[in-house]
A and B are shown apart, each in its own frame.
Chain A
Amino acid sequence: MKEQTINLAELIKEIPFEKICKNIPLKILDSNNSVVWENDLSNDDALKSFPLATKAGNILATLKTKEDYKGIIRKIIFRGIKIYLLNERKESDIDQIDVLFKDLNYISLKKKFDGANFNQKRNQEDIFETLKMFRNYFPFEVINIYVKGNQNSLIEFCEISTDGLKMHGEYWHFPLKEVAEFSFNTGSIYRSDDSKNDFYFGKQIETIKNKVINDFITMPLVYLNQKLGSITMYNFLGVSKNFDQNYALKNFIQILAYKLFLGENGDEVLKKKTSKRFLERFKGKEVPDYGKLKKNIKNAKHGEERPVLVMYGKIKSFWENFHRVKLKTQANLLNYHYNIVSNIVNSYSGTIYQIQEESFIALWNYPTDVEEYEKKAVLASIGLIQMAHDQTHLHWNSFGIKDFGFSLGLTKELVNFDEMKIGGKGFKCFQNNFIDTATQLQGLASNWTAYFHEKIITDLGKNNIVPMRKIFNLNLKREAQGSRVFAFKI
């Protein structure tokens, strides 16, 4: 497969064809039949074309040359490919990726985001685990972390060495705060390969008597432009000190910074900054005028028939999880969720018609006409699914509800609006069961998925907004039986 992903022109540049083909006619065409390389001799119409294929039989290029030369040129190109791949592998330093992938399952962002928690103690444990793992790959003798304390000062967080983990207040091998302060204050990385003679820290290094410090690297721990502390690694015991291209090292440091960030103020910061910023990303352009909306609903004509787009959304496994948290927290969590839902729906000219426990119904093209309401509803659904997946999910997680899930069902119905008068008061009513299809669709949709009835998507065009999957043979009943459904899934 790899051969087929090579940029042929890039590869050909490395092979000195000008010299090799001084007297040999040659034209190389890529698999798209575009010329990659040619010389003047190749204009001869009598020349034949030969495919250049991999062992698996995939055609990489076509050679136009004399039959006698095709074999040798093929060999030259394959040798070029081999050298190119070797060089690329060297350049990319495959070991680093191996380092990352062995343990990423454990420390990766999956854990970071899905299992994110804002409990400082649990975050600390995560940091220690990550540090231990880090030390397995990057064998520094001692690593210590200082974190931001009160009143513009750094305080000891932890030190890990062959002796194990030492916390604040315990005996540290290298309590060199000045070194940590340096990277923290200047926001830069400092590395010394000859610590005793280091211009800045030579004197401080000499104060450590029980162990010898040969080299060190100090780096700031920063996340979302927020300074969190500083990590210093002493005495590298491995072979290669080529850290500047080492992505694994950088990513480890980033994960540590992120964990510190979560422990420090993740809850508050994520709530204040990220949710607003996230919400802005998924909101539509419309600025909802709630006064006008209220008036429109009040003055809506009744006794009319109009096409309405219905959205039914529901939190999955709600009752299984919800009883675990207190009543007050339940209310807060639902408020948080419905605040986002109403914000997004309204920003796409939709109206929330009803909210009941874990589910809601939103309508488009009601009570007044809305231009391009199908498109707006689809965009709102995408926003809702994204927001639930990225933000609400994380927020609920932080309160201990791990398997928050959300899905949507959308359909378009012709609805008869009417008004009943009971005791002099007017009650709006709908004559047909317009949410039946939407609820069925939602019920069949898996987590982070929106199911759209074909009535919506056929008019819009399947992939005009976002690529969607067509789903057949869904177990739909009643009016919806046999309908095609389109799915958007994260």
Chain B
Amino acid sequence: MSEEKSISEKLEAEFKKIHLAYLIPDLKVPFGLYLPFKGKIIEVLRAGTPGSLEFFHRMASNGIHYAYLNNKDLPNWSNWKKIRHPDEGFFQDFSKGPSNEIKKNLAAYKARSFEKLKIIPSFFNEPEFYLEGVEKRYHDFLNEPGIVWVFNEKWVEKNISISIRLSYFMIIFLDHLRDHLMIYDEKNVLIFSVIHDLMSVGMSKDFKGKPEESTIYYIKKKEISISKEINTFFEIQKQVGLMKKDAGFKFDPSMPKGFQVFSLCKDLVESFEKINSETDQRMASSFRVIKSKKIYEEPLLNHLEKFLGKVKLYL
């Protein structure tokens, strides 16, 4: 018996078996390929050389579908595979739809939203039935294909917490408004309330622009496709952000009503967070703060005041 390692042992210890179909003819392979042959392990393809079409033909016609690569080349192999077959990982969850991570993030988002706002049952007809309906609609809305990318990322807590409060608050407030006002683009307003100010954990160090531009920065960087309407909302947000600095700025009826509702709700939720007192007082004083700004239309403020009497906000 030879004292040296047998080929079989060597193959098991020092080599990894890979399928040849991973490799594409004429594309350089950055690692050597080996085969056990006549008692030796021979190199059939040198690192850095492309396997010719003939080489793959020959292998296939000889029934050889697998080759070995040296364990030293494993980092090269995994890098190459990542670039050459970026879809490799995804194929594993092929029929299961979005990954568990997305589902988990979405569930956490929803659960946190429900904690931030409660309705006062006495003001609603059949409150349980109503809540059931709202939750279903909220769930359906968060599962819109156009918004799923939000749950595919880790966001900075400060930004995502505003989004969590705002989106749930708005879905109920829009319900309340529906009998009195016509908001044409409810769905887009709701989507915008989720994504209007997001900052991913990864980009928090790179981003140096204005806070309201963080989502746009992310979208450009990660090349996310969004609808024209949402793009328009981002533009309005930028303009309104500038105009709000001017004394005497007021939302006029020519501006999209949906955006005004969004802005009103956002201001309320933000000022609610800043004020320190008990819940009821806090809601009243945050409303007073917004009213004193005198930038929103009077009827809309009246609707909000009425609505705040029917719900309770929580930190």
Contact = CB atoms under 8 A, between A and B. Distances in A.
B64 A2 contact: yes
A150 B37 CA distance: 55
B309 to A, nearest CB: 35
Contacts of B315: none
Interface in B42-77: 46, 48-50, 53, 56-57, 60, 62-66
Interface stretch (B81-89, B261-269, B270-278): B81-89
A32 B226 CA distance: 63
A97 interface: yes
Nearest to A29: B1
B224 interface: yes
A124 to B, nearest CB: 21
A197 interface: no
Q: Which 6 A-B pairs have the closest CB atoms?
A: A34-B6, A9-B8, A31-B39, A92-B65, A247-B21, A185-B149
Given A31-B38, A101-B60, A108 B25 contact: yes
A239 interface: no
Nearest to B67: A5
B122 interface: no
A104 interface: yes
B53 A101 contact: yes
Nearest to A9: B8
Nearest to B57: A101
A145 to B, nearest CB: 14
13 contacts: A4-B38, A5-B36, A7-B7, A7-B8, A9-B6, A34-B7, A97-B20, A109-B26, A182-B146, A182-B148, A188-B99, A200-B144, A386-B48
Interface in A233-257: 243-245, 247-248, 250-251, 253-254
Among B19, B97, B225, B226, which residue has the most Cβ atoms of chain A within 10 A? Answer: B225
B38 A109 contact: no
Contact of A58 (B20, B27, B38): B38
Interface of A: 1-2, 4-10, 29-36, 58, 85, 88-89, 91-92, 94, 96-98, 100-101, 104-105, 108-110, 112-114, 148, 151-154, 178-179, 181-182, 184-193, 199-201, 204, 217, 219-220, 222, 224-225, 227, 243-245, 247-248, 250-251, 253-254, 386, 390, 467, 490
B284 interface: no
B94 A189 contact: yes
Given A9-B9, A30-B6, A36-B8, A190 B97 contact: yes
A207 B53 CA distance: 45
Contact of A32 (B2, B24, B26, B66): B2
Interface in B85-131: 85-88, 90-95, 97-99, 102
A110 B25 contact: yes
A6 B25 contact: no
A292 B1 CA distance: 62
Interface residues of B, number: 70
A151 B97 contact: no
Given A4-B38, A189-B91, A191-B95, A32 B49 contact: no
Contacts of B144: 200
A354 to B, nearest CB: 31
Given A153-B225, A185-B225, A97 B60 contact: yes
Contacts of A386: 48
B231 A199 contact: no
Contacts of B63: 2, 85, 89
Interface string B190-234: 000000000000000000000000000001100111111001000
Contacts of B84: 254
A100 B12 CA distance: 30
B290 interface: no
A113 B26 CA distance: 9
Contacts of A217: 94
Given A94-B65, A101-B60, A178 B145 contact: yes
B86 A30 contact: no
B143 interface: yes
A253 B25 contact: no
A108 B227 contact: no
A33 B3 CA distance: 10
Contacts of A204: 145
A249 to B, nearest CB: 9
Nearest to A100: B21
B92 A224 contact: no
B22 interface: yes
Contacts of B39: 30-32
Contacts of B308: none
A316 B105 CA distance: 60
B63 to A, nearest CB: 4
B65 A185 contact: no
Given A152-B231, A253-B87, A186 B8 contact: no
B160 to A, nearest CB: 18
A5 B37 contact: yes
A108 B219 contact: no
A243 B50 CA distance: 26
Contacts of A104: 24-25, 53
Contacts of B224: 152, 184-185
Given A97-B65, A247-B22, A181 B225 contact: yes
